[in-house]
Amino acid sequence: MRWTRRTGQSDLEDRRGLGARPGLKLGIGGTIVVLILSFVFKQDFFSLLGGAGAALPAGSETPAVVTPEEETLTRFVEFVVGDAQDVWAQIIGPDYRRAPLVLFRGAVQSGCGYAEAAMGPFYCPGDERVYIDLAFYDELRRRFGAPGDFAQAYVIAHEIGHHVQHLLGIEDAMRQASRQQPGRANALSVALELQADCFAGVWGYSTSQRNILEGGDVEEGLQAASAVGDDRIQQQTTGEVNPDSFTHGSAADRARWFRRGLESGQVNACDTFAAM
C-alpha cells in the first residue's frame, strides 16, 4: 500500500505499557478500601476479588518498549484505522462516531470484559473500540500464511466494519434474532461476519479509487480473508471440518464477500443476511 504517516487526529489509544488482570474494576476509593481490609484482616482481598486489577493504581504503568519495526507498524495501523473511518464518515455522514483502536500487549480490559491476545483482534460494541495486539500480525503471517500490508489492513477494516454494523443497528438486530431463533444463531453470526468482510472491501474499493493500492495488494487481502475461514482454522486445529459450527464463514465465502465489497464499493451490495 502507498501510505503516509497520519497527521492531525489520531484514532489510536496505546495501552501497551499497561497491565491488565481479570477481576472487578475498582476506582481509587474502592482500591483504598480493599487495601485497608487487606491490612486489618491480614488477607489479600484483591485475590479474593479475582485480582481486582483491571484498574491499576495511577503510576503503575510501565512505558512500552517499542522497536523501530513496531513503531513503523504502529504508524501503518494508525493510517489504516484513520483512513477507513474517514471513508465511513463520508458514507454515513455526521452521525458517524469514530472508534478508537486500542493497542495492547498480552491482555486488556475492554468494555466487553477481560480479553487475552490469543482471542485475536476484536471489536467491542460496549465501548465502541477495536482492540489488537500487534503480535497477531506475526501469527497471521506464520500460522495463517497471509503476509503483506494489505492483509494487515484487511484485519483492521473488518473490525471497523463491525463498528459500522453497530452504528447502523445491524448488530443489535442480529443479536435479537439470535435470541428469538437460537437454532439460527450460528448462521446469523456467519452473516454478520461476512458482511463485515464486505464492508472491509468497501473501504478497499475506496483505496483503489485513490490509487493507494499497489500490485499484489488485492491478492494479499483475499488471501487473508481466506486464511481465517472457519474451515481452514478447524482443519488446522482439529483435522476436521464441521460447517454447522461455523461462526465466521468458510474461506471461500469470506474471500467472496470481501471481493464483492472491493469490486462494488457499495454498502447495499453487502446484504449477507438476504443471501442466507
pLDDT for residue 48: 46
Q: What share of the chain has pLDDT > 90, as a percent? A: 80
The dihedrals phi and psi of 6, each to the nearest 5 degrees, come to -75, 135
Instruction: Give the pLDDT of residue 34.
Output: 43
Please say if the pLDDT value at position 200 is more than 70: yes
In tens, the pLDDT along 114-134 reads 999 999 999 999 999 999 999
What pLDDT, on a 0 to 100 scale, did the predictor assign at position 61?
54
- Contact partners, residue 7, CB within 8 Å, separation at least 6: none
The CA distance from 272 to 276, in Å, is: 7
Q: Residue 118 is placed in which grid cell?
A: 490469543
Max CA pair span of the chain: 67
Cell of 240: 476436521
pLDDT tens, residue by residue, 217-240: 999 999 999 999 999 999 999 999
What is the sign, positive or negative, of the torsion defined by CA atoms of 11, 17, 22, 25?
A: negative
pLDDT at 49 over 80: no
pLDDT band of 64, cuts 50, 70, 90: confident
Nearest to 136 by CA among 117, 150, 154: 117
C-alpha dihedral (92, 94, 97, 103), degrees to nearest 10: 80
pLDDT of 46 above 80:
no
Q: Please give the full DSSP string across 66-127, using - where no structure is assigned.
A: --HHHHHHHHHHHHHHHHHHHHHHHHH-TT-----EEE-SSEEEETTEEEEGGG-SEEETTT
Terminal CA-to-CA distance of the chain, rounded, Å?
A: 33
The pLDDT assigned to 18 comes to 83
**Residue bearing cell 479475582:** 50
pTM, two decimals, is: 0.85
- At residue 57 the predicted structure's pLDDT band, cuts being 50, 70 and 90, is very low
Q: d(Cα 88, Cα 94) in Å, to the nearest integer? A: 10
